[in-house]
Amino acid sequence: MLPGSAPALIVVVLLAVTGCATRWHYEKATADEAATERDRDECAREARVPFGSHPIELSEGRIWSFPFQTVDPKVLNDCMEKKGYTLLP
């Protein structure tokens, strides 16, 4: 590996992991897939944060935040739970 390529590789890996970490799946007995997506989109709008505003945070066996996110996952999760959804493992 070239000496200057390590930082670029780290950024690519973090961006890839961030994308995977934020797309959780929720379940609610009375909601079909379209309703779940609408509710998730609404909660994501409420959970918007400035790019780079969070440190990496691990809790409850999940990655809860990364500096590269524009949605606060804890706020999104709280919003979905208030709407009656359960976060799937």
pLDDT (tens place) for every residue of the chain, 89 residues total: 445 555 554 544 444 444 444 568 999 999 999 999 999 999 999 998 876 656 677 677 776 666 667 888 888 999 999 999 999 98
pTM: 0.60
The β-bridge partners of 86 are 27
Positive or negative, the CA dihedral 32, 23, 87, 69 is negative
Smallest CA-to-CA distance from 24 within 76, 70, 59 is with 76
- In this prediction, residue 6 carries a pLDDT of 55
